[in-house]
């Protein structure tokens, strides 16, 4: 039956005067972000499935079997993986209270992300095929382009977070949701790239 | 989506009274009603479009609208009904209104995200419908937008269609994230998962489907728009592309979409039946497991829409078996509802009439569904009116009936006033008769070979089509008692009191309509939402 036992803090007090972050429930914004990333990952999964089916059932046109250049994308892969570690380092410094060091690592991470994008641009311009040449070409650009969009967004977020670590900014040793969110997102984008690299370049 | 300092948006800055329904409110109850009213407006629009379709089909020769217009109307009708009426209302409206009450919270987990999710809908809907005027032509390839048809019909309307569906998909995903976080993370301390009202479970299952499948549709439509705008050839056979891949990706969303429409309806019915039968919900645990089983099976059966698309035999076999299996958890739910009613003190009011009719309609739609899952039968009736009859028994006889039932059940909570029962019963009667007149004959039409999506047909099909059109007319008329009811009641309806049904779920343990933060004091801890018919039961 129904009981109304009094409880301490059950409210998320969203409409009161005191802004309470997530009441007595702990912070679940990262949980929300993770759920969103699952959704985002499903978009990639759909693209991957389409690409693999195309490869399996649609033979490439005569003379259209392009061997992708491996060197640049491999360097790019290494760059992204390193950037995951530098971001991790930035988070550690932030939680330890060294906002300056954190900012430096964030800057390095953003630079690595930008380097990745530059590498992708170079690759695009050196490829012998363009978007509408054939099915393989279209899927190649759609997949890498969609991922590149994610990296671009990530670099922007990292830059913003880095700016927020300055004195009086929104990020501190005790309150660093923005940084953790960006970090989760960045690891996700890196992970997707590793899968993408495997499917697109190695398979 | 941050929770910090939401008071900016509330209190003095927020318009009061009815004006608050036109603002960017963060209150889950306001957002829920915004979804409801907005969805209902689109229902009227979609219904008018259905009226055009049925008028055209009242005679075998195309004379009411041109064939192009017919295709546009058909496309808009399907899209509006699914993406702007059913999905937003059965998830967004009732979910937003009820879930915070059910988990004992003051609001959803992410109120701002919630408001954004709602406010994506009106622009998307206006965009969709205005494509008829601004782009010179609306999309013509049906709500499935199958290529190569969608690549060869006028491009502008199709692109606008894609854009609005993407916006609506985004809205749906934001909503889904919010429901998952609210049910899993925002429960009042002391409230266990297995003590939640069934609608919470239904929304949890639905939201899992939304989060896993909607993004795939979004990706697919992005590729389709590349094909249209940039002349890539993903789905264009003329350029070496593959249309069957589109179908796989499309149905990976759109089959689960059926459950995105109908699982919440299951949940709502599970709330309504126990209250008006004064009995506990039968088989709570099996109900929960069957929801999760439906979620899992719903995700792996999409290719039953593609039996005629050249799928290999092993695929047909797999998808036939997997699809037929869905009858098991669904059957469990069906018998649990019957057992809930069995021997109950049933009050046959409007809410209950609609809910019981739902059970009947849904069983019928479910049986034709199992039939369709069998390959030889499906090949016979594929793309005929049998399919149209089947899915309207599911989406209309299932979900729309539940939406109406829920309206009668929760209107007193929304407004503090009761809807008039006589008008409600009239509404029910017209809807029930109209619905069956409209959609039952379509099964025969299909079995006899009338194809769907046609503006002209063999005169041999005239009589059944005319019966169907009369049914549609009755359904159109049936909205009148509902509209009159809502307007009259708003002016001088009977005052409801806090808990007119003597219900036990938490939303009834506060005033009607509820205060801004849902309860004036502590949130009640309701661990037995279905404890009816036990010792100290009070009859209404
Ligand atoms: C108000 C009563 C309704 C009537 C009279 C009606 C009538 C029709 C008719 C005659 C068609 C054409 C079928 C064809 O030629 O393929 C159709 C299609 C469709 N209807 Fe309804 N309908 C109604 C309500 C709904 C509702 C509530 C939904 C909600 C999901 C809905 C969803 C659809 C869909 C998805 C299609 C398929 C469109 C397409 O094939 O592209 N309808 N309807
Ligand atoms: Cu299906």
Supply the mean pLDDT for chain A. 84
pLDDT (tens digit per residue) in B387-411: 999 999 999 999 999 999 999 999 9
- The CA distance from B124 to the nearest CA of chain A, in Å, is 21
B75 CB near ligand 1 (under 6 Å): yes
Residue B533 pLDDT: 77
Nearest alpha-carbon partner for B456 in B146, B86, B67: B67
Query: Which element (helix H / strand E) includes B319?
Result: helix B313-325
Nearest alpha-carbon partner for B180 in B114, B269, B122: B114
Across residues B65-73, what is the average pLDDT? 92
Residue A25 pLDDT: 53
Residue B534 pLDDT: 67
* Contact with chain B for residue A130, Cβ under 8 A: no
Nearest alpha-carbon partner for B442 in B359, B383, B378: B383
Distance CA(B446)–CA(B239), nearest Å, equals 35
* Contact with chain A for residue B203, Cβ under 8 A: no
| Alpha helix segments (H runs only) across B326-374 | 327-341, 350-372
Task: Kindly write down the DSSP assignment for every residue of B443-512, as one continuous string.
Answer: HHHHHTTPBSS-S---GGGHHHHHHHHHHHHHHHHHHHHHHHHHHHHHHHPPB--S-TT---SGGGGS-S
pLDDT (tens digit per residue) in A166-197: 877 788 888 889 999 999 999 999 999 999 99
Other beta carbons within 10 angstroms of residue B515's beta carbon come to 11
Picking from A3-7, B380-384, B403-407, which range would have the lowest pLDDT averaged per residue? A3-7
Across residues B432-442, what is the average pLDDT? 97
B452 CB near ligand 1 (under 6 Å): yes
Contact call for B3 and A36, based on CB within 8 A? no
Across residues B283-309, what is the average pLDDT? 96
Distance CA(B444)–CA(B402), nearest Å, equals 26
Confidence of residue A64 (pLDDT cuts 50, 70, 90): low
Task: Answer yes or no: is pLDDT of B66 > 50.
Answer: yes
Residue B5 pLDDT: 42
B74 CB near ligand 1 (under 6 Å): yes
CA of B212 to the centre of ligand 2 (A): 16
Residue B478 pLDDT: 96
Collapsing DSSP states into helix, strand and coil, what is residue B384?
A: strand
Across residues B207-233, what is the average pLDDT? 96
Residue B529 pLDDT: 92
Q: 3-state DSSP helix/strand/coil percent for chain B, to nearest 5?
A: 70, 0, 30
Picking from A104-118, A124-138, B399-413, which range would have the lowest pLDDT averaged per residue? A124-138
- The CA distance from B185 to the nearest CA of chain A, in Å, is 7
Residue B1 pLDDT: 34
Residue B486 pLDDT: 95
Supply the mean pLDDT for chain B. 92
Helices then strands, counting H and E runs in chain A, come out as: 5, 1
Confidence of residue A12 (pLDDT cuts 50, 70, 90): very low
Confidence of residue B9 (pLDDT cuts 50, 70, 90): very low
Q: Report yes or no: B460 and B386 within 8 Å, Cβ to Cβ.
A: no
Of A5-19, B1-15, B318-332, give the range with the top mean pLDDT. B318-332
Q: Report yes or no: A32 and B19 within 8 Å, Cβ to Cβ.
A: no
Q: Report yes or no: B504 and B529 within 8 Å, Cβ to Cβ.
A: yes
Task: Answer yes or no: is pLDDT of B539 > 80.
Answer: no
Across residues B478-501, what is the average pLDDT? 93
- The CA distance from B444 to the nearest CA of chain A, in Å, is 38
Confidence of residue B259 (pLDDT cuts 50, 70, 90): very high
* Contact with chain B for residue A59, Cβ under 8 A: no
Residue A129 pLDDT: 85
Residue A66 pLDDT: 65
pLDDT (tens digit per residue) in B99-137: 999 999 999 999 999 999 999 999 999 999 988 887 678
Across residues B214-219, what is the average pLDDT? 97
* Closest B-chain CA to A54: B242
Distance CA(B221)–CA(B240), nearest Å, equals 18
Residue A61 pLDDT: 61
Distance CA(B386)–CA(B398), nearest Å, equals 17
- The CA distance from B199 to the nearest CA of chain A, in Å, is 18
* Contact with chain A for residue B229, Cβ under 8 A: no
Distance CA(B327)–CA(A101), nearest Å, equals 59
CA of B245 to the centre of ligand 1 (A): 25
B400 CB near ligand 1 (under 6 Å): yes
Across residues B375-397, what is the average pLDDT? 96
Task: Answer yes or no: is pLDDT of B8 > 50.
Answer: no
Q: Give B19 or B451, the one with higher predicted confidence.
A: B451
Residue B522 pLDDT: 85
Across residues A112-131, what is the average pLDDT? 93
- In a 10 Å sphere around its CB, with 0-12 CB exposed, 13-18 middle and 19+ buried, how is residue B409 labelled? buried
Confidence of residue A10 (pLDDT cuts 50, 70, 90): very low
DSSP code for B526: E
**Substitution candidate for ligand 1 out of B69, B70, B81, B401 with most atoms within 8 A of CB:** B81
Q: 3-state DSSP helix/strand/coil percent for chain A, to nearest 5?
A: 70, 0, 30
B76 CB near ligand 1 (under 6 Å): no
Nearest alpha-carbon partner for B108 in B517, B529, B402: B517
Confidence of residue B516 (pLDDT cuts 50, 70, 90): confident
- Residue from the list B173, B186, B528 with its beta carbon closest to the beta carbon of A12: B186
* Percentage, residues of chain B above pLDDT 90: 83
Residues 6+ apart with CB under 8 A from B285: B194
* Closest A-chain CA to B219: A43
Contact call for B4 and A3, based on CB within 8 A? no
Other beta carbons within 10 angstroms of residue B341's beta carbon come to 19
Contact call for B232 and A14, based on CB within 8 A? no
Q: Give B130 or A85, the one with higher predicted confidence.
A: A85
* Closest A-chain CA to B28: A14
| Chain B residues touching residue A23 (CB < 8 angstroms) | 106
Task: Answer yes or no: is pLDDT of A15 > 50.
Answer: no
CA B396 to ligand 1: nearest atom: 27
Confidence of residue A22 (pLDDT cuts 50, 70, 90): very low
Task: Answer yes or no: is pLDDT of B513 > 50.
Answer: yes
Across residues B460-478, what is the average pLDDT? 97
Give nearest CA residue, ligand 1 atom 3: B50
Q: Report yes or no: B210 and B180 within 8 Å, Cβ to Cβ.
A: no
Residue B388 pLDDT: 97
In Å, how far are A180, B123, B143 from B225, measured between CA atoms?
34, 20, 15
Picking from A105-114, B16-25, B180-189, B262-271, which range would have the lowest pLDDT averaged per residue? B16-25
Task: Answer yes or no: is pLDDT of B281 > 90.
Answer: yes
């Amino acid at each position: 039956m129904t009981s109304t036992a009094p409880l301490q803090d059950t409210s998320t007090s969203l409409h009161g005067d005191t802004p309470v972050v997530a009441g007595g429930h702990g912070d679940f914004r990262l949980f929300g972000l993770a759920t969103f990333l699952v959704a985002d990952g499903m978009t990639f999964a759909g693209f991957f499935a389409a690409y693999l089916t195309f490869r399996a059932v649609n033979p490439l046109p005569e003379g259209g079997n392009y061997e992708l250049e491996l060197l640049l994308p491999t360097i790019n892969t290494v760059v992204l993986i390193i950037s995951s570690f530098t971001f991790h380092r930035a988070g550690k410094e932030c939680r330890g209270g060294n906002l300056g060091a954190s900012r430096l690592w964030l800057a390095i991470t953003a630079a690595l992300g930008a380097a990745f994008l530059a590498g992708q641009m170079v690759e695009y311009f050196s490829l012998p095929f363009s978007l509408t040449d054939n099915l393989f070409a279209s899927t190649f650009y759609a997949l890498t382009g969609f991922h590149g969009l994610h990296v671009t967004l990530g670099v922007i977020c990292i830059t913003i977070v880095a700016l927020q670590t300055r004195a009086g900014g929104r990020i501190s040793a005790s309150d660093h949701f923005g940084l953790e969110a960006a970090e989760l997102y960045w690891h996700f984008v890196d992970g997707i790239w590793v899968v993408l690299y495997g499917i697109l370049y190695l398979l | 989506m941050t929770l910090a300092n939401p008071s900016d948006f509330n209190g003095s800055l927020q318009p009061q009274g009815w004006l608050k329904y036109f603002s960017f409110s963060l209150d889950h109850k306001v957002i829920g009603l915004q979804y409801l009213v907005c969805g209902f407006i689109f229902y009227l629009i979609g219904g008018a479009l259905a009226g055009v379709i049925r008028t055209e089909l009242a005679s075998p020769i195309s004379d009411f609208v041109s064939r192009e217009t017919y295709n546009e109307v058909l496309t808009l009708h399907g899209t509006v009904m699914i993406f702007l009426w059913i999905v937003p209302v059965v998830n967004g409206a009732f979910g937003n209104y009820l879930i915070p009450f059910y988990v004992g919270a003051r609001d959803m987990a992410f109120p701002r995200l919630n408001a954004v999710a709602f406010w994506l809908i009106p622009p998307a809907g206006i965009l969709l419908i205005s494509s008829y005027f601004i782009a010179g032509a609306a999309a013509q390839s049906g709500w499935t937008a199958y290529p190569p048809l969608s690549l060869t019909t006028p491009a502008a309307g199709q692109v606008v269609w894609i854009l609005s569906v993407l916006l609506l998909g985004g809205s749906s995903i934001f909503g889904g994230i919010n429901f998952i976080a609210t049910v899993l993370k925002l429960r009042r301390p002391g409230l266990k998962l297995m003590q939640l009202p069934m609608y919470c479970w239904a929304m949890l299952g639905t939201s899992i489907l939304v989060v896993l499948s909607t993004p795939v549709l979004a990706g697919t439509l992005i590729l389709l728009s590349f094909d249209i705008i940039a002349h890539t050839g993903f789905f264009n056979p003329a350029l070496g592309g593959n249309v069957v891949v589109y179908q796989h990706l499309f149905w990976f969303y759109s089959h689960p979409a059926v459950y995105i429409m109908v699982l919440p309806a299951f949940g709502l019915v599970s709330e309504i039946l126990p209250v008006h039968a004064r009995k506990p919900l039968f088989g709570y645990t099996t109900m929960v497991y069957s929801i999760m089983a439906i979620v899992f099976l719903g995700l792996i059966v999409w290719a039953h829409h593609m039996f005629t698309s050249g799928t290999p035999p092993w695929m047909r076999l797999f998808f036939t078996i997997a699809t037929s299996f869905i009858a098991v958890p669904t059957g469990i739910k069906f018998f649990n509802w019957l057992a809930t009613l069995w021997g109950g003190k049933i009050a046959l009011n409007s809410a209950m009439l609609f809910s019981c009719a739902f059970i009947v309609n849904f069983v019928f739609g479910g049986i034709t569904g199992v039939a369709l899952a069998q390959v030889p039968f499906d090949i016979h009736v594929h793309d005929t009116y049998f399919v149209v009859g089947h899915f309207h028994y599911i989406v209309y006889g299932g979900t729309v009936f539940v939406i109406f039932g829920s309206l009668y059940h929760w209107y007193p909570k929304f407004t503090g006033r009761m809807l008039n029962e006589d008008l409600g019963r009239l509404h029910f009667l017209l809807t029930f008769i109209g619905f069956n007149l409209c959609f039952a004959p379509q099964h025969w039409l299909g079995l006899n070979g009338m194809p769907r999506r046609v503006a002209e047909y063999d005169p041999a099909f005239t009589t059944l089509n005319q019966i169907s059109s009369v049914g549609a007319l009755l359904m159109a008329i049936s909205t009148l008692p509902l509209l009159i009811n809502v307007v009259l009641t708003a002016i001088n309806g009977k005052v409801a009191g806090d808990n007119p049904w003597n219900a036990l779920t938490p939303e009834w343990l506060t005033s009607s309509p509820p205060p801004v933060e849902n309860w004036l004091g502590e949130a009640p801890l309701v661990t037995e939402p279905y404890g009816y018919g036990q010792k100290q039961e009070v009859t209404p």
